[in-house]
Every structure is written in structure tokens, then in C-alpha cells.
Amino acid sequence: MTLELFLLLAAGLFAIGLFGALSQMSIVMIMMGLELMLNGVIVATAAFWFYVAPGGTDGQVLIVVVITAMAIEMAAGFAVATAIYRSRQVDMTDDAADLAG
């Protein structure tokens, strides 16, 4: 497989995630879109690392950092979504926006 195919896969994942994050109303679905976008970044980073500098560890470190950020983002996001749902029975972004004011 070539670098172009991996980058095409990464762009596809990112585009699907962007569409999902911008078009959904459910908080959980928005977070799933964000995860797809981060997976696209991981695929692109791994492809660049493999084809540009396979002997170095910089790409591996960056991938581990992004995966760690994904795990933290999902844990915090689900905690906030669960807290909002438990307090007000709200699971849509339009209804959650009313909580700020």
C-alpha cells in the first residue's frame, strides 16, 4: 500500500467524523464524530511516520499522545454528558445550551 492510500483513508475518516460532529444533535454522536476525526489524524500520523522515518520513534510517541488525549476526551465528555442528563434529563445539544443561561 502506498502513502496516498493511507492519506486517503485518513481524509475519509476525518471527513466522516467532521460531518458527524457538525450534523448531529446528540451529545454522544458528536463525541463519536470527534473520535473519528482523531482516528483520521492517527492514521495520517502513522502513515507519515512509516513512510518518512520508520527508524525513529517520534511518530510512535505522537500516536500514543493522541490516543491518550482521545481517552481523556471521551472520559471527560461522557462524564459531562452523564451529569447533564442526570440533572436535567437533557441529551440533545440544543437543550444543553439552554443550561448555560
Dihedral pair phi/psi, residue 26, rounded to 5°:
-80, 135
CA-CA distances (angstroms) from residue 8 to 27, 59, 69, 87? 28, 19, 23, 42
**pLDDT tens digits for range 4-16:** 999 999 999 999 9
Q: How confident is the model at residue 95 (pLDDT cuts 50, 70, 90)?
A: low
- The whole-angstrom separation of Cα 65 and Cα 54 is 18
Closest among 75, 57, 56 to 67, alpha carbons compared: 75
Tell me the whole-structure pTM to 2 decimals: 0.77
For the chain, the domains span 3-92
Whether 18 shows a pLDDT value over 90: the answer reads yes
Give the architecture (CATH level 2) of 3-92. Answer: Orthogonal Bundle (1.10)
C-alpha cell at 96: 444543553
**pLDDT tens digits for range 59-82:** 788 889 889 988 998 898 888 888
- The whole-angstrom separation of Cα 6 and Cα 47 is 6
